[in-house]
Amino acid sequence: MLMKHLVRVTLLAFIAASFVSCYDRDIIDFKGLNYSLPKVSNLNYSKQEKVVTLTWEIPTAIAAEFKRPLEVDIQKVENDIYREIIVVAGEETTRDIAIDPAKTYRFVVKLSGYLTDEARIEGRSERYYSEAEVIEIK
């Protein structure tokens, strides 16, 4: 009886998986736009009691398909809990961030930008992010 039930459940799971595995070939064949943003470089910090100042450099090799100025997105991680995302506009290269000196922090810094109207493809994202640079404050 148990074996019969096990075979039946396995067969149903196999049938369900075969229906779920249907896909749209166009999505799989689409290889993306091949645009990417480089990571920020020379990410550093200075700490003064309740304020951390992050500094970075924005690479000069940015594809012409991106609108200028770019943004820098900073994700504030407080005691391993994601707290907020701070957007730094205008290609600024520094930001003061309030902290609690009793807690530990990690900041995830990414360059982000929007494609120009000429480079956009309808139905695809116009916003791109670089890989992250992470800095820990102890």
**pLDDT value of position 12:** 65
- For the chain, the domains span 30-137
68-125 pLDDT, tens digit each: 999 999 999 999 999 999 999 999 999 999 999 999 999 999 999 999 999 888 888 8
33-45 pLDDT, tens digit each: 567 899 999 999 9
- For residues 114 and 56, what is the distance between their CA atoms, to the nearest angstrom? 20
**pLDDT value of position 22:** 52
What integer is the mean pLDDT of 11-22? 59
Q: Facing residues of 135 across strands? A: 107
| 28 — pLDDT class (breaks 50, 70, 90) | very low
- For residues 108 and 43, what is the distance between their CA atoms, to the nearest angstrom? 10
**pLDDT value of position 35:** 77
- For residues 17 and 20, what is the distance between their CA atoms, to the nearest angstrom? 5
**pLDDT value of position 98:** 96
**pLDDT value of position 26:** 52
CATH architecture of 30-137: Sandwich (2.60)
- From the CA atom positions of the chain, what is the Rg in Å? 23
Q: Is the pTM of this model over 0.85?
A: no
